[in-house]
Amino acid sequence: MESKPPFPPFDVDTARQKVRLAEDGWNSRDPKRVALAYSEDTRWRNRAEFVSGRAEVEAFLARKWARELDYRLIKELWAFTGSRIAVRFAYEWHDDSKNWFRSYGNENWEFNAAGLMTYRHACINDLPIKESERKYHWPLGRRPDDHPGLSDLGF
The size of the chain, in residues, is 155
Calculate the CA dihedral of residues 111, 115, 116, 120 and round it to 10 degrees: 30
Nearest to 101 by CA among 77, 76, 75, 125: 125
pLDDT at 9: 98
What does the alpha-carbon distance between residue 68 and residue 66 come to, in Å, rounded to a whole number?
A: 6
* Model confidence pLDDT, tens digit, residues 120-129: 999 999 999 9
* Model confidence pLDDT, tens digit, residues 38-92: 999 999 999 999 999 999 999 999 999 999 999 999 999 999 999 999 999 999 9
* Class in CATH terms, 12-136+144-153: alpha beta
pLDDT at 10: 98
pLDDT at 65: 98
